[in-house]
A and B are shown apart, each in its own frame.
Chain A
Amino acid sequence: MATITELKARVADLERQLADALQTKSAPNRGKITQMSAEVVDSNPYSRLMALKRMGIVENYERIRDFTVAVVGVGGVGSVTAEMLTRCGIGKLLLFDYDKVELANMNRLFYQPHQAGMSKVEAAERTLKEINPDVEFEVYNYNITTTENFDHFQGRIKQGGIGGDKPVDLVLSCVDNFEARMAINMACNECDQKWFESGVSENAVTGHIQFLIPGETACFACAPPLVVASKIDEKTLKRDGVCAASLPTTMGVVAGFLVQNVLKYLLQFGDVSYYLGYNAMLDFFPRMILKPNPQCDDSYCKKRQTEFQAREATRPKVQVEITEAEVVHEDNEWAIEIVSETTADELAAAEGDQPELTKGVRVAYTTPAPTQGGDQDATVQDSGQSLDDLMKQMQGL
């Protein structure tokens, strides 16, 4: 049992916390602004953005309000990405993440300690609405890679645009794992949706962004995952005791690259990068374009490639030839360094499609060329049992 003195101290402490909370809440919240103005007054949040138009960098900045962007993953990169877009006055944001804010995230930008325990999408929506009440939000606290959510996720890509009934303008992948990237890739190939992929390596010193146009540029399944070489020997990289490191700097740089290219694409200024790498150890930025793989494993990718080629064939030839990057069957000429655990046997079996890459980028691993049949004896044979029988047999073991 607590004594009266202890209770009094507790009340005083809570009163202090309440007063603090009330104070921070009393910050002025501006109303919605119906039309973006270029007027340079200190109360206009858009004056410096509209100046881009006056300077002739962007032709029509106000168009930003017509666009919808879906951000998948609002962690270290995604949250900052969403904040940048919010401050730029994007029309609508859809946020997807199933994670909660944790104190372990405080080495990254955006989230604050008092938000610990809240879902990331909810915490992000609150902060962002306060920064810019003109932006429309739709947030989903779920994992997009599971069967129960994937269809809904695809539905929102197809119908999440402003006013409903039209697709979003871009999907931004800010997730931290291969599975989720492959799920976004699958969804975007099926929906014929342009998207950007972004990532920071688990050792926190390299990152990349990639622009994926179904049928026109390589999809995420066209080649094994790409790695920006970091000059750190994989063999000496100590992973004992930890899964991943992270730095707010690398994540901030990657988010900046990502949103810069999103703005360039949406507002049509400058050149959009198709692949841009970042090597923090050398401050080196490899850049390239990747053509799709005609033998891609994703059937919708191949469908989009056929459609793209048909469109291209009907177009007059004025396009600049892109000479780089075609998927070729070739030897190990860019000194791909296979991960250290690879055995000689695995290396020998690795003769599948490999993309042509710019200096400083390599594939994380190679996959063998598809084989016909083979391995018959080692493969399960149809036992004639039904799935129910097998399930019961498994339970009875």
Chain B
Amino acid sequence: MVDEVTKKTLAQIPLLKTKAGPRDGEQWIQRLKEEYQSLIQYVKNNKDADNDWFRLESNKEGTRWFGKCWYIYELIKYEFEVDFDMPITYPTTAPEIALPELDGKTAKMYRGGKICLTDHFKPLWARNVPKFGIAHAMALGLGPWLAVEIPDLIARGVVIPKDAGAGDKS
């Protein structure tokens, strides 16, 4: 089951309405606007809750997304690059979020550093097409993944702080 915190977070992210993918011309522009509105609101919510944890942007066409996410563990900030392509089947299928730096460092990843999602992600996504967008994929997919995997990666010594002063940004 999706934990209560994630559920609450999810409920506060604005839903989308346009069902359009990258091949749908004008409709896709409309969808992109909704994606950005929803993402902006989600980042604001995170800041208000003192839990700011990612930034994303896209190319002009909205087909390639990239940015950063970070996780604070024992007062040290660990930051990672995030990227993904918009599949032509979006929003019927969710984007496959990747953390390329961690490729090959954990078994909870597919090739290219794509994160391995829990069993409940796909059914939940499928039931909410086209209302869920990138912000939902981040909240439901990447957020919980970081919370479980990063402490483990740190404990195993696979992930180490990039520099001693990295804890005070943002």
A residues with a Cβ closer than 8 A to B are: 99, 143, 145-148, 150, 177-179, 182-183, 186, 221, 224, 234, 239, 241-244, 297, 338-343, 346, 349-350, 364-368, 375, 378-380, 382-383, 385, 387, 390-391, 393-395, 397
A239 contact set on B, CB distance < 8 A = 118-119
Q: Tell me the smallest distance from the CB of B42 to a CB of chain A, in Å.
A: 10
B-side binding surface: helix, strand, loop or mixed?
A: mixed
Shortest beta-carbon distance from B7 to chain A in Å: 9
Taking CB atoms, residues of chain A closer than 8 Å to B23 are: 147, 150
Q: Which single residue of chain B is at the shortest CB-CB distance from A343? A: B1
Do B40 and A390 touch (CB < 8 A)? Answer: yes
* Sampled A-B contacts (10; CB under 8 Å): A145-B87, A147-B63, A147-B85, A147-B86, A182-B89, A186-B89, A342-B120, A380-B16, A390-B40, A397-B44
Q: Are A394 and B57 in contact (CB under 8 A)?
A: yes
Cα–Cα distance between A178 and B94 once the two chains are bound (Å): 10
Q: Which 4 A-B pairs have the closest CB atoms?
A: A341-B120, A365-B123, A390-B36, A243-B116
Residues of B within 8 A of A147 (CB): 22-23, 61, 63, 85-86, 88
Q: In the bound complex, what is the Cα–Cα distance between A394 and B16 (angstroms)?
A: 17
Given contacts A146-B88, A179-B89, contact A379 B123 (CB under 8 A): no
A390 to B118, CA, bound (A): 31
* Residues of chain A within 8 A of B43, CB atoms compared: 394, 397
A8 to B164, CA, bound (A): 45
Q: Does B139 contact A (CB under 8 A)?
A: no
State the Cβ distance, A107 to closest chain B Cβ, in Å.
14
Q: A234-B119, A378-B14, A379-B14 are in contact. Are A146 and B85 (CB under 8 A)?
A: yes
Inter-chain contacts of A395 with B (CB < 8 A): 57
Chain B neighbourhood of A393, CB < 8 A: 36, 40
Least CB distance, B35 to chain A, in whole angstroms: 9
Residues of A within 8 A of B123 (CB): 338-339, 341-342, 346, 364-365
Given contacts A145-B85, A394-B56, contact A387 B119 (CB under 8 A): no
Known: A243-B107, A385-B33; 4 extra A-B contacts, CB below 8 A, are A147-B85, A182-B92, A243-B110, A339-B119
Docked Cα-Cα span, A368 to B93, in Å, equals 16
What DSSP secondary structure best describes chain A's contact surface? loop
Q: Is B17 an interface residue (CB 8 A)?
A: yes
Q: Is the CB of B32 within 8 A of A365?
A: no
A144–chain B nearest beta-carbon distance, Å: 9
Instruction: Take A367-B126, A378-B14, A397-B55 as given contacts and tell me if A182 and B111 are in contact as well, using a CB distance cutoff of 8 Å.
Output: no
CA distance A59 to B150 in the complex (A): 60
Distance to closest chain A CB from B13 (angstroms): 9
The answer, among B37, B56, B126, for a CB contact under 8 Å with A380, is B37
CB distance from A245 to the nearest CB of B (A): 11
Nearest residue (CB) in A for B126 is A367
Name the distance in Å between A204's Cβ and chain B's nearest Cβ: 15
